[in-house]
Amino acid sequence: MLKFWIRSVIIGLIAAAIIIVAIPSLREHIVKLEHPDPENIASMELSFNPAVRRAAPAVVNIYSRQYDRNNRKKLSTQGLGSGVIVSKKGYIITNYHVIAKADQIIVALQDGRVAAAQLVGKDKRTDLAVLRIEGDHLPIIPVNPHYHPKVGDVVMAIGNPYNLGQTTTFGIISATGRSSISAGRRQAFIQTDAAINAGNSGGALVNSRGELVGINTASFQQATDIETYGISFAIPFSLANTIMQKIIADGRVIRGYIGVDGEDMNAVTSRLRNGQQAGGILVVGVDPNGPAKKAGLQKRDIITQINGQTITGRQEVMDTVTNLRPGTSVKVTILRNGKEITLPVTIAEDNYD
């Protein structure tokens, strides 16, 4: 057995020697490996520069200007933030709080161009606003509709912190689906440890390919007044894009409303309900003037389906209903005392601000 292995090794070495002699170019590669070129080593270093170069030109500085109270002809810069150019037509997504008190909005591009921006619309609930500028050959940030943020993904926050100029910070996605970060906001945030400071608001959170992941919006410290590090938040691009499309279409965000408050059905809730249903939501409140009440929904009903679509939780109900146009009639399937009932509900407009 030992002789067999020795013979195999010898034959392999002879074959390798013959190949190296027959193909001189292989000898060059071997020499390079034994004596590596410092320039080649440098090129092997990990760098996200290509991703930043793809995304950064589309991230703009935004300056909010207001008229002087004592002199209506005098404008002064009162706030700063960032924004992201997402369309060749010049549409820019930013945070609502960046432009909330602005009488004039100035946008500065990274190529040196400066333009006055038109406010297309705003949505206080999601802290998003859409601006528009005129210009030729505007840089557009790359987007990937097939990308879904995952915990551990490498991300970079690009913006203009403290008006220092465009800055890129690095981190990972720490969590997804974070909600109730601050009062009045219902969307599920992306949490990251990439630093987001004053002036970064409205800027881009991008992945390692330079594709837009979210709109930077807040740090935990800003939201809670607790001094923390490595906890920042961004609005997912999927939500920001939906809000933008609604604003472009209607000038504002029109949301559907049925007037119920509910809690997710889980194993514990199901046992308390005698194991009636493990999915859906348990209705814990009904607006006495809302569409659900008019349709006959009651407290302790369990909503299982909307228009035949199975409901898995409260967030899904919220997303489904808010995306429906007011006046639309939907079939809401519920469980009541163990019996399945389907009720027609006419969607109203959610006027909450």
Active-site residue set: 97, 127, 201
Q: Are 293 and 299 in contact (CB under 8 A)?
A: no
DSSP per-residue codes, 50-77: HHHHHHGGGEEEEEEEEEETTEEEEEEE
Buried b (16+ CB within 10 A) or exposed e, 219-243: bbebbeeeeeeebbbbbbbebbbbb
> Which token pair is 271?
């046992």
Strand partners, 231: none
Give the residue carrying structure tokens 């004053």. Answer: 198
Sequence-ordered list of residues with C-beta below 8 angstroms from that of 307, at least 6 positions apart, any chain: 330, 331
How far is Cα 311 from Cα 331, in angstroms, rounded to an integer?
13
Integer Cα distance of 75 and 248 in angstroms: 28
H or E element that contains 87:
none
Tell me the helix, strand and coil percentages in the chain, rounded to 5.
Answer: 25, 35, 40
